Amino acid sequence: MIVDGTPAPTDILNILGIEALAEYMVREVQKVYRLQGVLIDDKHIECITRQMLQKVEVIESGDSEYLVGDVLDRTTVLEKNIELKEAGKNEVKFKMMILGITKASLQTNSFISAASFQETTRVLTEAAINGKVDKLTGLKENVIVGT
């Protein structure tokens, strides 16, 4: 990809794909830390990058219940597409999204995990008002509650 200056992550995602963006993110973050003399294993940055790339936007709903513009977990849409394909129905078409670290942390399915990051009062209030139940499926929320 030829650009004048630093490429925008969304451009890398849209043109070169998710793998190229993940490699770019790891490389650029490592540059910053190495300048400070800090060594970090790539897997830690890859974990953060994976969280930043977990959401997709529906561009065609196919035969699903989703609406155009819905923002969903990538795994949810991929599972739905398997289900639709097996039933001989039209699959959901989507585009990948990249979220900032803060937004990615707040968009998790676990309100306990989201509350531990930022905007704790807002996240917990919203969860209480909406009667949310946290199924404690992730590592972070299980560490927080001590299980």
- Give the pairing type, strands 55-60 and 71-73: antiparallel
Strand segments (E) across the chain: 55-60, 71-73, 93-96
pLDDT at position 93 is: 97
- Structure token digits, residue 142: 């299980």
- Structure token digits, residue 18: 């998710």
48 shares its domain with 59? no
87 shares its domain with 124? no
61 shares its domain with 81? yes
In whole angstroms, how far apart are CA 14 and each of 1, 6, 22, 31, 76? 11, 15, 13, 23, 21
Tokens 């900032």, located at residue: 100
pTM for the structure as a whole: 0.73
Nearest-angstrom CA–CA distance, 15 and 3: 12
pLDDT at position 53 is: 92
Q: What is the CATH number of the domain that holds 128?
A: 1.10.150.390
The domain total for the chain is 3
- Structure token digits, residue 94: 């989507």
- Structure token digits, residue 144: 């927080």
- Structure token digits, residue 120: 């704790």
- Full pLDDT tens readout for the chain, 147 residues: 666 778 889 999 999 999 999 999 999 999 999 999 999 999 999 988 998 999 999 999 999 999 999 999 999 999 999 999 999 999 999 999 999 887 877 777 788 888 887 788 998 999 999 999 988 888 888 888 888
77 shares its domain with 124? no
Task: Count other C-beta atoms under 10 Å from residue 93's C-beta.
Answer: 14
Domain span including residue 29 = 1-52
| 87: three-class secondary structure by DSSP | coil
45 shares its domain with 3? yes
| 122: three-class secondary structure by DSSP | helix
Within its chain, how far is the Cα of 113 from the centroid? 14
pLDDT at position 41 is: 95
pLDDT at position 74 is: 93
